[in-house]
Amino acid sequence: MKTKSTPATKFEYPTSKSKRSMVMDRDFDLQDRLIDYAVRIIKLSEALPDTRAGKHVCSQILRSGTSPAPNYGEAQGAESRADFIHKLKVALKELRETEIWLKIITKAKLIRPPETLTPLLNETDELISILFKSIDTAKKNDKK
């Protein structure tokens, strides 16, 4: 974290593969993607300012942003379809919370320039869509 004299921190992080290259990648693994996402959240948290607000946001986004990967991992070992769906819903809930914290960071300009968070927000949206569709599919399969 940066010193209190710095109200906003410049943030740079590696971007993920484009959506198109991920679709074309035969080795695509959602768990790997969620782990990469967690790493990006960790790097973001390290760039937040060392202020009261920065520390609060840091702890919140670290919790919610690193949670989807292990929750997805737990879903893979679910004892039933209902358990699988429940664990995916927990991961989805945490992604939605992370999206809100990213928007707060952007609007509060805790990271400069705020536009550097756009790729991470886009990845969050994509992961939300994937998990939402996975839950929907699992529910449909459960009814069969």
- Which backbone phi and psi does 13 adopt, to 5 degrees? -150, 160
- The pLDDT tens digits along the chain (144 residues) read 444 444 455 566 555 555 444 444 434 699 999 999 999 999 999 999 999 999 999 999 999 999 999 999 999 999 999 999 999 999 999 999 999 999 999 999 999 999 999 999 999 999 999 999 999 999 998 787
| Structural domains for the chain | 30-143 (1.20.1440.60)
- Which backbone phi and psi does 49 adopt, to 5 degrees? -65, 150
Q: Is the peptide bond before 113 cis (omega within 30 degrees of 0)?
A: yes
